[in-house]
C-alpha cells in the first residue's frame, strides 16, 4: 500500500528541503526523498565547504602579508589535512541541522532514490532494492546536477579531480591546472594559489568569468596575474599525459601549442542535470540540454509534476533553488506567488578578489536596445576599504537613461558578496536612481562605494 502525502519532494538539496519546509508551514503532509545527504551538493560538496576552504586561504594570505599592518610572524605554516577536516566539519554540522529542520516541521524523510511511477506515484529504492511506494497529488523534482565530464578530462580520483576530489584533496599540489574559469574554477584556483600552489587557469572563452561584466572579468584576470597565477584564455586542452604522480596537459592557445606540467588538474567545465533514472520516460516532461523545462512557477509538461533548482534552467545557484522552492509550493497551494524573475537573482564568486553582480551587464543592456548611463566608483576612493588594506576593486552601475531603472550592478573587491543584496533589493523594488541617490549609506563602510557608483552615473560623484 502506497503511503499518502500531499506533496513529495525528490531531492533534499537547498531547493528541495526549503520547498518541504514551506509546504509544511502551509499544512501539507510532506515527504522528502534523498539518496545521499540532506543539504545536497551545495551544503555537502559545494557552496559551504568551499567557503570554509577559501576562508582558510584568506587567513594564510593575510599571515604572509602582515607587514603593512605593523605585524610580523615567523615560520608561518599550516596543516593542510586540518584545513580540509574543518571544511568537512562545517558541512557535517549544517547537514545535521537540515535533518533537524525536517524533524521540527514534521517532514518525513525517505533515504533512497525517487522515481516517477505513473500519475501521482513515486517509488523509492535503496541500494537497488525497493524501499517504499509513495502517492501524492503533487511531486516536485529537485534532483540537482553534477559536474560535466569532457572526454580526456575524466576525473580519476587521483590526478584529475572534479570539485568533489578538490574538496577532499589527498595532497596539497605544488603545481595545479584548473580548466574552466566560472565561479567553481575561479574559486578553486584562488584557494590553491593562496595556499601556495603554482596555478594555471585555462578558459576556452576569450575572458575568465565570462558571464560577468567585461570590466569585472578584466579586473579579476589582472588581479589573478598580479598574484602569480598563469591565466590562459581562448585556450583548449587537447590532451593529458599521465606519468606517475603527475601529468602534462597539452594546451592550444592563440594558435600555439604548449605543454604544462602539474601535480593535479581540476576540471570545472560546467554541469549537467540529473535527469536520468527519475522516471521521465513516458511523461510529457520536456528536457533540453540535460535540464527539465518549466514555466516560471516550476510547472513541467506533466500534470502534478514540478521541477526546481539545478535540474532546471540557469542560473544554477542555491539561492535561486531556494526561492523557486517557495514559489512552486505556494503555486501548488493556490496562493498566486510572483513568478521567479531570474534577472533579479544575484551571482557571487568568492575568489580573491570577490565578485558579485545582479541584472544586466553593460554589453547585454546595449544589445537589448537600452540607452544606458553607467557609473563607476573605485574602492581606492573609499575610506573603509583603505583602512582594511583592501582598496582594489570597484562598483559599477548600469541604468536605463530614459527611465532611471537600474538595469544591472557589478562589483569586484572586498566583501562585495555581502553587499550585492543592496542592489538586489533595489532591483526587486524597481527602484530608480532617484531613490538610490537619496538613500543614506553609513560612513565609514565599503558599501558607500555602491552609492557613489550611482551618483557617478548621473555626474554627481563626490569622492573621486
Residue 128: which pLDDT band, with cuts at 50, 70 and 90?
Answer: confident
Residue 57 counted as an annotated binding residue: no
Residue 172: which pLDDT band, with cuts at 50, 70 and 90?
Answer: very high
Residue 186 counted as an annotated binding residue: yes
What does the DSSP assignment read for 172-241? --SEEEEE--SHHHHHHHHHHHHTT-EEEEE-SSSSSSTTS-HHHHHHHHHHHHHHT-EEE-SEEEEEEE
Rounded to a whole number, what is the distance in angstroms from the first to the last CA of the chain?
71
* Number of residues that this document lists for the chain: 464
Task: State the span(s) of the chain assigned CATH 3.30.390.30.
Answer: 353-457
Alpha-carbon span 203 to 163, nearest angstrom: 17
Structurally, what CATH architecture does the domain formed by 353-457 represent? Answer: 2-Layer Sandwich (3.30)
Residue 91 counted as an annotated binding residue: no
Query: Active-site residue numbers?
Result: 443
Helix orientation angle between 47-63 and 80-104, rounded to the nearest 10 degrees: 140
- What is the CATH class of 3-147+272-342? alpha beta
Residue 243 counted as an annotated binding residue: no
Alpha-carbon span 369 to 280, nearest angstrom: 39
Do 412 and 216 touch, CB atoms closer than 8 A? yes
Element housing 48 (H / E): helix 47-63
Which residues are CB-neighbours of 76 under 8 A, at least 6 positions away? 60, 63, 64
- Ramachandran region of residue 415, left (φ > 0), alpha (ψ -120 to 50) or beta? left
What's the pLDDT tens digit per position in 269-311? 989 999 999 999 989 999 999 999 999 999 999 999 999 999 9
Task: State the span(s) of the chain assigned CATH 3.50.50.60.
Answer: 3-147+272-342, 160-269
For 220, other C-beta atoms within 10 Å of its C-beta total 26
Residue 36: which pLDDT band, with cuts at 50, 70 and 90?
Answer: confident
CATH 3.50.50.60 assigned to domain 160-269? The reply is yes
pLDDT of residue 41: 77
Q: What is the mean pLDDT of the chain?
A: 95
Alpha-carbon span 169 to 183, nearest angstrom: 19
In sign, the C-alpha dihedral spanning 106, 337, 417, 42 is positive
Residue 217 counted as an annotated binding residue: no
pLDDT at 161 over 80: yes
What's the pLDDT tens digit per position in 305-329? 999 999 998 899 999 999 999 999 9
Q: What is the C-alpha radius of gyration for the chain, rounded to an integer number of angstroms?
A: 23
What's the pLDDT tens digit per position in 351-379? 999 999 999 999 999 999 999 999 999 99
Residue 173: which pLDDT band, with cuts at 50, 70 and 90?
Answer: very high
Residue 183 counted as an annotated binding residue: yes
Residue 47: which pLDDT band, with cuts at 50, 70 and 90?
Answer: confident
Amino acid at each position: 500500500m502506497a503511503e499518502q502525502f500531499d506533496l513529495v519532494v525528490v531531492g533534499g538539496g537547498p531547493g528541495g528541503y526549503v520547498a518541504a519546509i514551506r509546504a509544511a508551514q502551509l499544512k501539507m503532509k510532506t515527504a522528502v526523498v534523498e539518496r545521499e545527504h540532506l543539504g545536497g551538493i551545495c551544503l555537502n560538496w559545494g557552496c559551504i565547504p568551499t567557503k570554509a576552504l577559501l576562508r582558510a586561504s584568506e587567513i594564510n594570505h593575510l599571515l604572509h602579508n602582515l607587514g603593512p599592518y605593523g605585524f610580523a610572524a615567523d615560520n608561518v605554516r599550516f596543516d593542510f589535512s586540518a584545513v580540509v577536516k574543518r571544511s568537512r566539519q562545517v558541512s557535517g554540522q549544517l547537514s545535521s541541522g537540515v535533518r533537524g529542520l525536517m524533524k521540527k516541521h514534521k517532514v518525513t524523510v525517505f533515504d533512497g532514490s525517487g522515481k516517477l511511477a505513473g500519475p501521482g506515484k513515486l517509488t523509492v529504492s535503496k541500494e537497488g532494492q525497493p524501499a517504499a511506494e509513495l502517492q501524492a497529488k503533487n511531486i516536485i523534482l529537485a534532483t540537482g546536477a553534477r559536474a560535466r565530464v569532457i572526454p580526456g578530462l575524466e576525473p580519476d580520483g587521483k590526478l584529475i579531480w572534479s570539485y568533489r576530489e578538490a574538496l577532499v584533496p589527498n595532497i596539497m599540489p605544488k603545481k595545479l591546472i584548473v580548466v574552466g574559469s566560472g565561479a567553481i574554477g575561479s574559486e578553486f584556483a584562488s584557494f590553491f594559489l593562496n595556499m601556495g600552489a603554482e596555478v594555471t587557469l585555462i578558459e576556452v572563452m576569450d575572458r575568465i568569468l565570462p558571464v560577468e561584466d567585461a570590466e569585472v572579468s578584466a579586473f579579476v584576470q589582472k588581479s589573478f596575474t598580479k598574484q602569480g597565477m598563469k591565466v590562459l584564455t581562448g585556450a583548449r586542452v587537447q590532451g593529458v599525459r599521465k606519468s606517475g604522480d603527475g601529468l602534462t596537459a597539452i594546451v592550444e592557445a592563440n594558435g600555439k601549442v604548449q605543454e604544462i606540467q602539474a601535480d593535479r588538474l581540476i576540471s570545472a567545465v560546467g554541469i549537467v542535470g540529473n535527469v536520468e533514472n527519475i522516471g521521465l520516460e513516458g511523461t510529457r516532461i520536456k528536457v533540453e540540454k540535460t535540464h527539465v523545462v518549466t514555466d516560471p512557477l516550476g510547472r513541467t509538461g506533466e500534470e502534478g509534476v514540478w521541477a526546481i533548482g539545478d535540474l532546471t534552467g540557469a542560473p544554477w545557484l542555491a539561492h535561486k533553488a531556494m526561492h523557486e522552492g517557495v514559489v512552486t509550493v505556494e503555486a501548488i497551494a493556490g496562493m498566486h506567488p510572483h513568478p521567479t524573475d531570474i534577472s533579479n537573482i544575484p551571482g557571487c564568486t568568492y575568489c580573491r578578489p570577490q565578485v558579485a553582480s545582479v541584472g544586466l551587464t553593460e554589453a547585454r543592456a546595449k544589445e537589448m536596445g537600452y540607452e544606458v548611463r553607467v557609473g563607476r566608483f573605485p574602492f581606492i576612493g573609499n575610506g573603509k576599504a583603505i583602512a582594511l588594506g583592501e582598496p582594489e576593486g570597484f562598483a559599477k552601475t548600469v541604468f536605463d537613461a530614459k527611465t532611471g531603472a537600474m538595469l544591472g550592478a557589478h562589483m569586484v573587491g572586498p566583501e562585495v558578496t555581502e553587499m550585492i543584496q543592496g542592489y538586489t533589493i533595489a532591483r526587486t523594488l524597481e527602484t530608480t536612481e532617484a531613490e538610490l541617490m537619496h538613500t543614506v549609506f553609513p560612513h565609514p563602510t565599503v558599501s558607500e562605494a555602491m552609492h557613489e557608483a550611482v551618483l557617478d552615473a548621473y555626474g554627481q560623484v563626490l569622492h573621486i
